[in-house]
Structures are given as C-alpha cells and as structure tokens.
Chain A
C-alpha cells in the first residue's frame, strides 16, 4: 500500500537566540552518552518541575528526558517507526505519543543489548540506571516508566509525589503546609534511595549551588515572560517552544543562565525599539497546551497571512513566578526549598482561580490572568490525541475565557508526535474563520469597556 505523505513544516523562529537553543537539547543527549563512556550513572527523568532533577544531578547522575526526546524525534520526523514498534508491542495507540516513542526506542535499545543503536535520532538515549517518574499532572508519567520494565529489566523506577488538592481544599487551614511536609518527607526518602543506589552520599553544598543557579535562571526566564506583555509582542510561541528547554531541563547549568541573559537582551532590545516579532501584528493569541512539534511552521503561516502573534502559551512549561519572600523565610534545608519551588508551580495560580471562581488553578486559571496581562484576542486550544492530561481542561478554559473575559477560543485537533492527526489545511481554514470571531469579540470588549 502506498504510504501517505503528511505535510510538515518547521518554523523560522523570530529570535536569533531561539534558533540557537537547540544546542541545549543536543547537550543533554551528548552529555549522557559521554557519561556512559566514562561509566557515570545515567537517569531518565520526566519533567519534574525541578523536584527530582536537581537532587539526582547533585548526586552525580546525568539526566536525559524522554519527553524531550519524543518532541525531538517528532521535530526531526523520526518518531513514526518507534510509534509502530509500540503499537506492535500491544500498547494502545491512544496512549501518550511521547510514551509510545520512548517505548519503541527502548525496545530497540533492548534488542541491541542495551547499547544505543547507531542510527538513533540525536545519538539516542543512553541506558539508564534509574527512571525518575512524577505523579504531577499526568498519570502517564509514572505508568510509562513502569511499563519500561519489560525492556529495562531491573532498572528501578522512583515516583515523585506532587499533591494536587482541589482549589477550595488548598485553602483549608494547614493544608498547604501538610502538602509541603509530605513532599519534603518524600524527597528525603528519594535522597536515601539514591544514596543506596549510587553508593555515595548526597553533596548538599553542590545541591545548594545548583538550586541557587536554578532560582536565578527561573527568575530570568520569568522576566522574559514579563517583557512579552508588550504590544507588539517581541517574541512568539515559536520562539518559546525552543527557548523553554534550558529553564525546564537545565536551569542549574550556568550556560543556561548565560543563554537566558542573551534571550532577555534580545527581547528587551525589541521592546525598547517597538519591534514586533511578526510584522503587522493584528491579533494576539494564547496557545494551550503542547504544540504539534512536527508542524510549528503553521504558526509562521498564520502570522504571515492573518497577522496572528501567539503571544503566550503552554502554561505548564513556563518558569514559575518568583515565590513571595515569606515563602522562603527561614527555610535553610535545600530539600525544603525544592519542595516549595515545585509545589509553587502547581499552586501559584490558585489565587487567580479563586478570584475568577474558575477551578482548577493548574492548567486553567493562568489563561484567564494571561488574557488580561497579554491583551489576548483569542485562545487556540490544541487537544492532543495522545497527551490527554494537557487537554482535559482546554474546553473548560475556552468556555471560561469567553464567558468571563469575552475572549473567544478556537479548537484545532492535533498531536505532539503523530503527524496524521494534524491537518494543516483544515487548521488554516479554521483560523481564517476565527479571525472574524476575534473581531466580533474585540467589539464586545470595547462595548463592555474592558481594558483591551
């Protein structure tokens, strides 16, 4: 049977720094491969919002991130063979695309006596001694690593805990501190587990250094987000999806901080000179949640054709807002700082959610705040066939934005990995029609004397 060709398109990106950010993805992969040669331990980690990564790295472990590898394989159009392997292994094809990519890759690793196959995209993921999974946001992110036991016989899985209380329950007296105490207790257990696994003690001085650097990097990444409120937008989502790698995966790396200084400078220069990321910005849109990595060029097309700037996006991948000073007052244990940092990621929007009476805080409330802060004209919801947890709240958020802030939304189905689900022509037509909707709602906001 003739194989159907699917259209894909890369983005040109608008920032020079965004074009350079691919360096960090490659750095992670090559560092792990070098570590393997040197006999140093390698871990595969989910994005843990800094909860587990820093601890493992301070213990001397080199980490790679299979979620990022999934995005990389999709971007270089190398995911399909791995998806097919996962299908053949019996995993439902409705599971997370990143997971299926990783399962397929790991099967090839196992079939190659756990040596990285020579043709693996980006050099491949080196064999791990530990899988660090996370309960935050998504069940797949521990079920998937558990499933890898079929191929990585005996490689242990550690699941990090991240409480997810409801909005009202977050404010129950003492509950927040109980949540934090639980995370801290679990992190202590994690350290003990690592010490036993690796046979060395935690270097707390090293951990504190890495944590300090992380906080600096995250602060700078947040400052870039603040600059992006400017009209016209100095940076768009096509840029963010590249520059997010260093703060999400390598915030403790001084190189990441230096890189973010360059990003900040580039964006600031544009702000100071009123230079928009796209020429003739006419509509400002928000995007949720993960993009079709194989077709980021689609956003260049809608920018060119309709003057749509994707001004802010993907809540889950942004640096946190700086924690209030009182949050860290008297906190000296680096593990407790980490607990507070990661927990802040999932609770920092609870006040916003309460103010808008729109639960949940995570995945949802930030878009309401952003709509105001970034003067959004529209919301592009991208339900993912294979990353459901990033998708569950999309329609609810869309409804809330329309109802509470007169910001309309459009739904464009797609996938982070699977090319077959995203139809760029259909998506383009939808955007063409949606421009009129945005005009209509802009008028409604004007009549309601809203700020934008």
Chain B
C-alpha cells in the first residue's frame, strides 16, 4: 500500500479491505497505535500526541469461536465479534487500548478485554448516562485523566495549542465528511453507500492528516466522475452500526440507494464540530456527550410523548428532508439494547413524517445476510 500510491476511492477501498495495514506500517515507522471502542473516546487527545487512533470493529466474515469461552452468546454480537478477532490477534499491533462506557456491551467487553488482551497502555473512559451540565463537567474530568494517562505513556505533555490544533484537524475532517454527504443529495446520489462506508472506515484506520487528504481526493473524484448510480428509492439507515460492505451491497442491490446513515460509523462521529473553547477539554467534553447522538445517552424527557420524540429525533426529520428520503431501515444488531428499546418510538416518529420503516434485527454475520435480501426487495417495492 505504501508503494505505487492509489488515490481517492481506490485507496479508501484498499484501506477498508486491509484495515490494520496502514497502522502496522506506521508502527514500523515508529508511531504509536491506539485502539479505541465506539465513537466516544476523544481521538483528538491521541492525535495531539502523534498517536494513530484506530477504531476497533468486529468482522462479519469471521465466525465467532474464541469469544464463546469469554462472552456469552446473549451479548451484543458486534462486541463479541470485536473481542473474538482481538483474541485472534487482529489488533496485536496496538500500543494502547481505550475502552469506554458507551453502552453495557462496549463497557463490559472493554473491561474483560484488558484481562486477556494485553497492551502497554490502557485506559477505561467512563461516560455519564445523561447530558446534564454536571455530567459534562464530570466527563471533562474523566477525559483529563485519559489525557494524563496517555501523556504519561508517551512521556510528553500536550500543550493547549497542540490540542487546539488536533481539534482543528479533526473538525476539518468532520467538515469534509459533511461535504461528502452533500454529494449524496442528488438523485441518484453521486456516491454509493458501500463506497461511503469504505471511506468512513478508512478514516478510522489512518492518521487524521492522511484522512483529510483522502477525503479531498474522494470528493474531487466523485464530483468529476460520471454518475454511475441508478435511480432508486432513497434510504436512511438508523440504528446499530454497519461495518461491512457485504451488507450495504445487499441493500443497494435490492432496489435502494443509501443516502444517509445515522449510525456510529455514519453521521454520528462527524456531524458536529468541536467548539473551539479556551480550555479545549470543555469543547471536547461538550461535543462528545451532547452532540454524538447515540441513544445510549439519556436526554431529559419532554413534556409529552410527541414533544419528547421531537426533542430526541428532530434531527432525523431534518436528515429525511435534506436527503429526500423515501424510507428508513432500522438496523438492530441482535442484543443491542440501546437501539432495541427505541424501535417502536422510531417507527412512530417516522410514521408521523409519512416514512415507512423496515426493522431488522440481524446477527452481524455475512453468512446470514442473504436471507435478508427478500425483505429489502419487498421494502423497496413498497416505497418505490
């Protein structure tokens, strides 16, 4: 990958296909690589110390075997898969491991992980359940502990300027991702869901500067190439993450164009910039707790069911309007509680917008995907 350089979408596809490759190369060059769970650990802290943050994902292609002896089958399948491939040494190049109390599954997996998969540095980041002001203050303190732990490991302090610079570079990435999302606004969209997924996962495996270059290349390429997409019904995906193009390919070959994903690998990590604050940790804490809109964070209840739904999901109405969505796929990885409890309310909310919702609870396995094809095809026909 470091030889004859591919660019743009081809490079994203390479980075997506061999996810640890670039990080392993950088490790050879002397960089430190940290793995992190979910989209809550502030990657800006790692970037500020020239650490490469790599998002820990599972592998839908790999049957879960080793994890069976450590994590019960009733647990979130994605977490079990991530742990399984961790035990199979997929992440043996990590110098550090950052767990997070994002949800029960991620939290317990991370806590158990450190008993069996050893890295020179590890930190478990607690995340409050609410977005109250005192919760933001508390979260800021926990992020400060994280910063201290990483500084100690690297043997270097982060200056406020370096942190502000890292925030600016990641904000630039967020803005570029939003620009790329804009290219899905035409009908048909200029970039497919599978291509988008490859780009987003690629960004989570490389340093932010490389990611920003990649994004600029991709945006230019997508703008300049002839639009190869066919016109199909436009789909918003909400819910658990999707990290394998076998899934998006299946959806898009069933008569649907994915135009926006409200998931942990979609809009959630990228949709809001971190505010530049005097103390950068203020902006970081505020952003991760209040602006990363995973239902794992409890938002204070509204005065009525309707208003509560509007407060919690109003942004989805904006998404649906902006991307001219025809229908919604609620993707629930089996045993994902934080999304599972939202299914009826999400259906109610989108029904109020006149948008049909296809709910599928799936097993996070490419081997089990094909059986879903007829459901997507039927849904496409319904909304087409």
Q: Do A and B form a real pair?
A: yes
Residues of A within 8 A of B130 (CB): 135, 159, 161, 186
- Verify if A256 is at the interface (C-beta below 8 Å from B): no
- Verify if B70 is at the interface (C-beta below 8 Å from A): yes
Determine whether the beta carbon of A139 is less than 8 Å from that of B304: no
How many residues of chain B get a CB closer than 8 Å to chain A's CBs? Answer: 61
- Of the candidates A166, A168, A178, A385, the one having the most CB atoms from chain B within 10 angstroms of its own CB is A166
Determine whether the beta carbon of B340 is less than 8 Å from that of A91: yes
Measured in the bound complex, the distance between the Cα atoms of B338 and A95 in whole Å is 10
- Verify if B96 is at the interface (C-beta below 8 Å from A): no
Measured in the bound complex, the distance between the Cα atoms of B301 and A383 in whole Å is 32
The interface size bin for chain A is 35 or more
Measured in the bound complex, the distance between the Cα atoms of B339 and A140 in whole Å is 10
- Verify if A274 is at the interface (C-beta below 8 Å from B): no
- Verify if B348 is at the interface (C-beta below 8 Å from A): yes
Binary A-proximity of B103-122 (CB < 8 A = 1, otherwise 0)? 11101111110110000001
- Mark the stretch among B189-197, B248-256, B329-337, B370-378 that contacts chain A: B329-337
Determine whether the beta carbon of A92 is less than 8 Å from that of B305: no
Taking CB atoms and an 8 Å cut-off, the chain B residues in 280-335 that contact chain A are 295-296, 298, 301, 303-305, 308-309, 332, 334-335
Taking CB atoms and an 8 Å cut-off, the chain A residues in 126-175 that contact chain B are 133, 135, 138-140, 142-144, 146-147, 149-150, 153-154, 156-157, 159, 161, 163-169, 172, 175
Tell me how many residue pairs across A and B have CB atoms closer than 8 Å.
Answer: 173
Residues of A within 8 A of B345 (CB): 147, 149-150
Residues of A within 8 A of B72 (CB): 383, 388, 391-392, 394-395, 411
Determine whether the beta carbon of B343 is less than 8 Å from that of A91: yes
Q: Which residue of A lies closest to B148 (CB)?
A: A172
Measured in the bound complex, the distance between the Cα atoms of B342 and A139 in whole Å is 12
Determine whether the beta carbon of B138 is less than 8 Å from that of A94: no
Taking CB atoms and an 8 Å cut-off, the chain A residues in 271-324 that contact chain B are none
Residues of B within 8 A of A399 (CB): 69-70
Measured in the bound complex, the distance between the Cα atoms of B101 and A178 in whole Å is 17
Q: What's the nearest-Cβ distance from chain B to residue A289, in Å? A: 11
Determine whether the beta carbon of A388 is less than 8 Å from that of B124: no
- Verify if A90 is at the interface (C-beta below 8 Å from B): yes
Knowing A189-B134, A359-B115, A360-B111, say if A153 contacts B305 (CB, 8 Å).
yes
Determine whether the beta carbon of B337 is less than 8 Å from that of A143: yes
Q: Which residue of B lies closest to A140 (CB)?
A: B337
Q: Which residue of B lies closest to A135 (CB)?
A: B129
Taking CB atoms and an 8 Å cut-off, the chain A residues in 160-207 that contact chain B are 161, 163-169, 172, 175, 178-179, 182, 185-186, 189
Taking CB atoms and an 8 Å cut-off, the chain A residues in 201-226 that contact chain B are none
Q: Which residue of B lies closest to A389 (CB)?
A: B104
Measured in the bound complex, the distance between the Cα atoms of B141 and A172 in whole Å is 12
Residues of B within 8 A of A95 (CB): 337, 340-341
- Verify if B24 is at the interface (C-beta below 8 Å from A): no
Interchain CB contact (< 8 A) of B126 among A91, A150, A165, A391: A165
- Verify if B361 is at the interface (C-beta below 8 Å from A): yes
Determine whether the beta carbon of B141 is less than 8 Å from that of A178: yes
- Verify if A393 is at the interface (C-beta below 8 Å from B): yes
- Verify if A245 is at the interface (C-beta below 8 Å from B): no
Residues of A within 8 A of B76 (CB): 388
Residues of B within 8 A of A92 (CB): 332, 340, 343, 361
Measured in the bound complex, the distance between the Cα atoms of B349 and A147 in whole Å is 13
Interchain CB contact (< 8 A) of B105 among A153, A182, A392, A395: A392
Determine whether the beta carbon of A149 is less than 8 Å from that of B308: yes
Binary B-proximity of A394-408 (CB < 8 A = 1, otherwise 0)? 111001100000000
Q: What's the nearest-Cβ distance from chain B to residue A292, in Å? A: 14
Knowing A135-B298, A139-B337, say if A89 contacts B129 (CB, 8 Å).
no
- Verify if B123 is at the interface (C-beta below 8 Å from A): yes
Q: Which residue of A lies closest to B304 (CB)?
A: A154
Residues of A within 8 A of B126 (CB): 163-166, 169
- Verify if B64 is at the interface (C-beta below 8 Å from A): no
- Of the candidates B301, B335, B359, the one having the most CB atoms from chain A within 10 angstroms of its own CB is B301
- Verify if B99 is at the interface (C-beta below 8 Å from A): yes
Determine whether the beta carbon of A149 is less than 8 Å from that of B337: no
Q: Which residue of A lies closest to B303 (CB)?
A: A154
- Verify if A384 is at the interface (C-beta below 8 Å from B): yes
Q: Which residue of B lies closest to A392 (CB)?
A: B108
Knowing A94-B340, A143-B337, A147-B341, say if A166 contacts B361 (CB, 8 Å).
no
- Verify if A435 is at the interface (C-beta below 8 Å from B): no
Knowing A165-B124, A395-B71, A396-B112, say if A91 contacts B344 (CB, 8 Å).
yes
Residues of A within 8 A of B341 (CB): 91, 95, 99, 140, 143-144, 146-147
Determine whether the beta carbon of B115 is less than 8 Å from that of A150: no
- Verify if A358 is at the interface (C-beta below 8 Å from B): yes
Measured in the bound complex, the distance between the Cα atoms of B341 and A99 in whole Å is 9
Residues of A within 8 A of B122 (CB): 168
Residues of B within 8 A of A385 (CB): 74
- Verify if B355 is at the interface (C-beta below 8 Å from A): no
- Verify if B132 is at the interface (C-beta below 8 Å from A): yes
Knowing A182-B134, A388-B75, say if A150 contacts B129 (CB, 8 Å).
no
Q: What's the nearest-Cβ distance from chain B to residue A166, in Å? A: 3
Residues of A within 8 A of B111 (CB): 166-167, 359-360, 393
List 14 extra interface pairs beyond A144-B341, A161-B130, A169-B123, CB under 8 A.
A94-B74, A133-B298, A139-B103, A142-B129, A143-B337, A143-B340, A147-B342, A149-B308, A150-B348, A153-B305, A159-B298, A172-B145, A359-B111, A393-B108
Interface residues in chain B, defined as those with a beta carbon under 8 Å from any beta carbon in chain A: 69-76, 99, 101, 103-105, 107-112, 114-115, 122-124, 126, 128-130, 132, 134-135, 137-138, 141-142, 145, 148, 295-296, 298, 301, 303-305, 308-309, 332, 334-335, 337-338, 340-345, 347-348, 359, 361
Jot down 29 A-B pairs with beta carbons below 8 A, ordered by A: A89-B344, A90-B347, A92-B332, A96-B337, A135-B129, A143-B340, A149-B309, A154-B304, A156-B301, A157-B301, A164-B126, A166-B126, A168-B123, A169-B124, A175-B141, A182-B137, A182-B138, A185-B134, A186-B134, A360-B108, A360-B112, A388-B72, A388-B105, A389-B108, A391-B75, A392-B105, A393-B112, A396-B112, A399-B69
Smallest CB-CB A-B distances: 3 pairs: A166-B124, A135-B129, A143-B341
